[in-house]
A = this chain, B = another copy of it.
């Protein structure tokens, strides 16, 4: 098959008829498949069922210092959970606070606190006329939704091959005092799957923000979520790099075990400088008496230590890898030479980012839906759901069984071909 752009009008017309026919056939198969959600599959969830046996009625529910995990107290988490999450997040034990089940909720709290009380003595954002946030795009819709909910203006910064456009980040951040933060998924990014290069991390740590209360929101959602054993991304640890650069307070780092153990029943944590943690404690001690220490203990007993987590993630990878490869192989086979789409080939994380020709993504998602395959809504990876190019689609290969995934990807390819061919025909007039 030759690239669509090289086809004559007659060739495209014939192709479109053929694709329409195949699309109708697919519609008749009455599919009900879903590639929209970055959630673990049943097989993956089964990997953590041992969590349910990690504590029994015969277990002494005390942490290593003798604190009864069943009772009130221990606001910042039990020591062994801090050590485990510290190892996952690559930060020292005393630089993190353990929270509840959701790192998203920790990020929400962080924005909410900055809004109502300000960051380290700076003016609360609710008292400012204008607050802006940088959003690396394509990115994670739930990040953008938090800042949007607080009336903060989301400003897009494009994700390049090796991280955000740092020229743009440096310029905006140094010139505009109303920019108070940036949403980042630095490793196996959502949705592109690529990771920030050493150079990008170093430039982040050396930012010179106009706003004293500017913070990098470093969502380390996929820090141990590799697809390969010998082929992994490794990032410079941002907290340490900020400290070396003389900017120790520049970053909040978030993580959770949501995609390690069970989504919604894991433990989350926030890591930062001691100064930032002290600032956060002023809220924390008013907000709660403590998070779920029994669940912290359960996780520690189940995983043992960081090596246990690594071994566990290897099992996740064994389930996820064939799914990513199936999607990638299908895309390559069906679209590889047509010049109508590009996509990423991540070494970890939960997503593949797929780009159609400009102006085609919404139509592709709609065509897929009408043939029974649900994709993440086009535009969802941009603030306000508005992709200026209407080209990005987030593919989430984790949840469907392998065979469903193959069929769904084939349908996606068919729809991309059909929509692209029609688009080219339209352009010919």
Chain A interface residues (CB < 8 Å from chain B): 37, 39-40, 42, 45, 48-50, 52-53, 55-57, 59, 61, 68-73, 100-102, 104-105, 108, 112, 115-117, 124, 126-127, 142, 145-146, 149-150, 258, 262-265, 282-283, 286-295
Contact = CB atoms under 8 A, between A and B. Distances in A.
Given A57-B49, A112-B112, A72 B288 contact: no
Contacts of A142: 286, 289
Contacts of A112: 112, 116
Given A101-B100, A292-B101, A52 B56 contact: yes
B68 A57 contact: no
30 contacts: A39-B72, A40-B71, A50-B57, A52-B55, A52-B57, A52-B59, A52-B61, A70-B262, A70-B263, A73-B264, A104-B287, A105-B287, A108-B287, A108-B288, A112-B112, A116-B126, A117-B149, A126-B127, A142-B289, A145-B286, A146-B287, A149-B283, A149-B286, A264-B294, A265-B292, A265-B294, A265-B295, A292-B292, A292-B295, A295-B295
Contacts of A258: 72
A72 B293 contact: no
What 4 A-B pairs are tightest by C-beta distance, nearest first? A265-B294, A49-B57, A126-B126, A70-B262
Contacts of A68: 42, 45
B264 A71 contact: yes
Contacts of A263: 70-72, 289
Contacts of A293: 264-265
A289 B262 CA distance: 13
Given A263-B289, A264-B293, 9 more contacts: A69-B265, A71-B264, A73-B264, A108-B287, A115-B116, A126-B126, A142-B289, A146-B287, A295-B295
A294 B262 contact: yes
Contacts of A100: 100-101, 291-292
A113 to B, nearest CB: 8
A142 B285 CA distance: 9
A252 to B, nearest CB: 17
A105 B112 CA distance: 14
Contacts of A40: 71
B102 A288 contact: yes
Given A72-B39, A262-B70, A263-B72, A105 B288 contact: yes
A350 B269 CA distance: 32
A353 to B, nearest CB: 20
Nearest to A102: B288
A215 B286 CA distance: 20
A294 B292 CA distance: 13
Given A68-B45, A71-B45, A264 B291 contact: yes
Nearest to A49: B57
Nearest to A38: B72
A314 B145 CA distance: 46
Contact of A124 (B72, B126, B286): B126
Contacts of A117: 149
A287 B110 CA distance: 11
Given A116-B116, A295-B292, A265 B70 contact: yes
Contacts of A57: 49-50, 52-53
B70 A291 contact: no
Contacts of A146: 286-287
Max chain B CB contacts within 10 Å: which of A50, A57, A283?
A57
A101 B262 CA distance: 17
Given A126-B124, A262-B294, A45 B70 contact: yes
